[in-house]
Amino acid sequence: MKDIILTDPLPEFFLPPAQVRCELRYFDSATDADFAAARGILAYGHVRIDGQMMDRCPQLRVISNHGVGVDHIDLQAAAARGIPVGNTPGCVDAATADLTIALMLATARRLVVSDAFARSADFTQYNPALLIGQEVTGSTLGIVGMGRIGCEVARRAKAFQMRLLYHNRSRRPEAEAEFGVEYRSLDDLLQESDFVSLNCPLTSETAGMIGAAELGKMKPTAILLNLARGQVVDTQALYEALRDETIQAAGLDVTDPEPLPRDHPLFQLSNVIITPHLGSATGRTRHTMMQRTLENLFAGLDGQPLPNEVQ
């Protein structure tokens, strides 16, 4: 008999390996009987999994998250009920760092605006004065969050001969030695950096970390990149800073809320690029994440230690 698993709708490539031993029940159509019979939860999207949901599942043995960030899962509630939570660290690092660099280049060189101009009737001849961007090579990059992803961002930025600063909850001497990154307080990092890259997890300490005061400390030519979580940045404050040119531009892979309402004023600005949470969205990374998600899920169902358990 297959295990009943609660989950979000899964992509087609995820179904065959999951259905080998699981009967899938999607959250939006699951019945009380499905919750009562569920032995596992596979969190593919960001459905909120709190103590109340866990209590609806008296047979629950494991929560397996497809991704690294677990801010949508009440870890204290899970621990109190003895339910292990797994995630997929490591496999998302390269892809997310790649997109960080992609957004840095795209915002610095105004690629989206330039593409639209090149397609328009206004582009009639080459003009060297058009759409002047920022030089990335030799600029200063400040990385907020020097974990696995932050280190991969630093590794890539070194190829652009960038001066590298970082802020982290604790200093990372090994990263300083390997990448030549210099530790700074958050205020000093904001003041010194040409690009500020947010690569930190969402926690009680980082929620709302970047607001009007922090944006006001950045250079008027600075660019903010958010590959963390939308809630790390005050959306209204960011809109006003971009509108008023307190900072030059922003590249956002995440927003608060996510997605933004279709009439949100950020969409009216030309100095922001927004992508739909694509940090880990490559075929290789998604398949690796799937494998690790299922490894955690199956281990928990079997009462075994999770290969990647959130501590």
Q: pLDDT (tens digit, 9 = 90+) per residue, 8-48?
A: 999 999 999 999 999 999 999 999 999 999 999 999 988 99
Cβ–Cβ under 8 Å, residues 82 and 60:
no
Is residue 202 pLDDT above 90, yes or no?
A: yes
- Residues in contact with 309: Cβ distance below 8 Å, sequence separation at least 6, in sequence order: 84, 85, 86, 296
Q: In CATH terms, is domain 3-90+283-302 a member of 3.40.50.720?
A: yes
Residue 257 is predicted with a pLDDT of: 97
Query: pLDDT by residue (tens digit) across 87-99?
Result: 999 999 999 999 9
- Residue 251 pLDDT grade (very low, low, confident, very high; cuts 50, 70, 90): very high
Which of 25, 277, 286, 292 is the catalytic position?
A: 277
Domain with CATH 3.40.50.720 in the chain: 3-90+283-302, 92-274
Is residue 311 pLDDT above 90, yes or no?
A: no
Is residue 208 pLDDT above 80, yes or no?
A: yes
Which of 258, 264, 287, 295 is the catalytic position?
A: 258
Residue 193 is predicted with a pLDDT of: 98
Residue 46 is predicted with a pLDDT of: 85
The overall pTM is greater than 0.85: yes
Which overall architecture, per CATH, does domain 92-274 show? 3-Layer(aba) Sandwich (3.40)
Residue 307 is predicted with a pLDDT of: 97
For residues 167 and 9, what is the distance between their CA atoms, to the nearest angstrom? 37
Task: Judge whether 258 counts as a catalytic residue.
Answer: yes
Query: pLDDT by residue (tens digit) across 173-184?
Result: 999 999 999 999
